[in-house]
């Protein structure tokens, strides 16, 4: 029995120390609070944050180098296209290179003959015009080939394959054309989403929309968490289905796996603003049927205990020796009144500005109080 107790005591002590380490304190703060409007919102991006990869020529989709949801870098290859038109273009370019080479040799010969008086100026000019026409056609084809990612200078034989590349960093949003499909020029093959910023379009009542200002803020709820957002623009058109105004907010931070076009909830704080006492929502706890926050207990000073008569000290000592001294809980509940929720904060009454409270680890505090109450029953 003694061995068992010796094992349990250190475990309890370690558990108590761990719980204490997870308990954090904060101070009640005064923050501006306006009229809180809760409404629907849609996650979106601006048009310049999306790119569509299109086929520059009619052809056949031979291979996708990426899949939906994959992160890509600017310049990374995404699609391989096989095109008969490209085969014709590249063959013409190779042929023009040979013609240009032959034309240059003919021009060099014509110049020698002209110097010897064996040919006329008109014949020399004709050779110059011929080579200029060939070079013009060659340069035009080279420009088209280079736009397809093909280095025309290195082209020695005809090719029917070209690769499309990502224009910017992002995530592959959607692949529109199945593999091994035929496509026309300018057909969109896939979309790539630039993850530099996300926005939320809030659907707001017309009266509330007229109160939106540059100072308006809000919180977007996504997957159970709230993310702060700032006002960007009151959009000029009304949503036809809901007959509500659309307000654009920019999300200040967001999760990595956020989904575009997802509908969610949003809290918006509108003017007029007033000062309110705010604490973290995580500090609230329902305790004995009332909303409370926990504070550190205030114990009597040792000096106060020393002022007691000698007889009292003797009596306390005797209780201590008999193991009857009661251990006081380190925290006490304090009843508060909830005014409004906003983001991760809550406006309350019942505390003073700067008053310290348990902001995280409320579960461990309640466990301590429960343990203390069970000890009192013993």
Strand order in the sheet with 331-335: 285-287, 290-296, 331-335
pLDDT of the residue at 116? 85
Using alpha carbons, list the distances in angstroms from residue 38 to 24, 318, 337, 346. Answer: 30, 61, 21, 15
The two structure tokens encoding residue 73: 């870098």
pLDDT digit string (tens) for the chain, length 378 residues? 444 444 444 444 444 555 556 889 999 999 888 889 999 999 998 766 678 899 889 999 999 999 988 889 889 999 999 999 999 999 999 999 999 888 888 888 888 888 888 888 888 889 899 989 999 999 999 998 888 888 888 888 999 999 999 988 888 888 999 999 999 988 999 988 876 688 999 999 999 999 999 889 999 999 889 999 999 999 999 998 889 999 999 998 888 778 888 999 999 999 888 899 999 999 999 888 899 999 998 755 544 544 555 545 555 455 454 444 455 678 899 999 999 888 889 999 999 999 999 999 898 888 888 777 666 544
Distance of alpha carbon 170 from alpha carbon 223, whole angstroms: 22
pLDDT of the residue at 309? 52
CATH class, range 18-32+277-318+327-377: mainly beta
Same fold, 18-32+277-318+327-377 and 57-193: no
Place of tokens 């090719």: 159
pLDDT of the residue at 15? 47
Q: What is the DSSP string of 311-369?
A: HHHHHHHHHHHTT-PPPPPSEEEEE-EEEEEETTEEEEESS-TT-EEEEE-HHHHHHHH
Break the chain into its structural domains and give their ranges.
18-32+277-318+327-377, 33-48+196-273, 57-193
Domain 57-193 part of CATH 3.60.110.10:
no
Sign of the four-CA dihedral 298, 303, 309, 314? positive
Q: What is the DSSP string of 223-279?
A: TTEEEEEEEEEEEEEE-TTT--EEEEEEES---TT--TT-EEEEEEEEEEEEEEEEE
Distance of alpha carbon 144 from alpha carbon 33, whole angstroms: 60
Please, is 190 exposed, middle or buried when counting C-beta atoms within 10 Å of its C-beta (0-12, 13-18, 19+)? Answer: buried
Q: What is the three-class DSSP state of 27?
A: strand
Cα Dmax for the chain: 141
Altogether, the residues listed in the chain come to a count of 378
Q: What CATH number matches the domain at 33-48+196-273, 3.40.50.2300, 3.90.660.10, 2.40.30.170, 3.30.70.260?
A: 2.40.30.170
Is residue 272 reached through a cis peptide bond, with omega within 30 degrees of 0 on the bond before it?
yes
pLDDT of the residue at 356? 94
Q: How far apart are the first and last CA of the chain?
A: 20
CA atoms within 13 A on the CB side of 88: 6
Angle at 21 between CA 18 and CA 27, to 5 degrees: 150
Distance of alpha carbon 108 from alpha carbon 106, whole angstroms: 5
């Amino acid at each position: 029995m003694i061995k068992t107790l010796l094992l349990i005591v250190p475990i309890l002590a370690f558990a108590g120390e761990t719980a204490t380490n997870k308990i954090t304190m904060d101070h009640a703060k005064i923050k501006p609070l306006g009229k809180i409007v809760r409404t629907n919102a849609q996650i979106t991006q601006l048009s310049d944050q999306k790119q569509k990869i299109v086929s520059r020529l009619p052809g056949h989709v031979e291979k996708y180098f990426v899949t939906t949801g994959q992160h890509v870098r600017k310049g990374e290859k995404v699609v391989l296209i096989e095109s008969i038109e490209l085969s014709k273009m590249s063959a013409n370019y190779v042929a023009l290179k040979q013609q240009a080479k032959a034309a240059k040799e003919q021009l060099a010969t014509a110049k020698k003959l002209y110097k010897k008086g064996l040919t006329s100026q008109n014949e020399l000019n004709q050779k110059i015009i011929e080579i200029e026409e060939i070079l013009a056609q060659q340069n035009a084809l080279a420009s088209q080939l280079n736009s397809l990612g093909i280095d025309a200078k290195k082209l020695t034989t005809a090719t029917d394959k070209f690769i499309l590349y990502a224009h910017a960093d992002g995530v592959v949003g959607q692949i529109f054309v199945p593999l091994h499909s035929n496509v026309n020029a300018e057909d969109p093959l896939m979309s790539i989403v630039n993850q530099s910023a996300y926005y939320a379009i809030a659907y707001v009542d017309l009266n509330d929309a007229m109160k939106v200002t540059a100072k308006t803020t809000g919180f977007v709820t996504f997957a159970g968490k709230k993310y702060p957002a700032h006002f960007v623009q009151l959009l000029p058109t009304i949503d036809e289905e809901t007959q509500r105004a659309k307000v654009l907010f920019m999300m200040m931070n967001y999760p990595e796996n956020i989904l575009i076009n997802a509908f969610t909830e949003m809290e918006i704080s509108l003017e007029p603003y007033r000062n309110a006492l705010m604490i973290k929502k995580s500090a609230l706890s329902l305790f004995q049927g009332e909303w409370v926050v926990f504070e550190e207990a205030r114990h009597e000073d040792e000096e106060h205990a020393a002022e007691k008569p000698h007889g009292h000290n003797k009596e306390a000592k005797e209780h201590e020796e008999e193991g009857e001294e009661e251990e006081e809980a380190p925290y006490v509940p304090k009843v508060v009144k909830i005014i409004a929720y906003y983001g991760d904060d809550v406006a309350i009454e019942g505390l003073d500005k700067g008053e310290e409270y348990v902001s995280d680890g409320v579960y461990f505090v309640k466990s301590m109080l429960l343990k203390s109450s069970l000890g009192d029953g013993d």
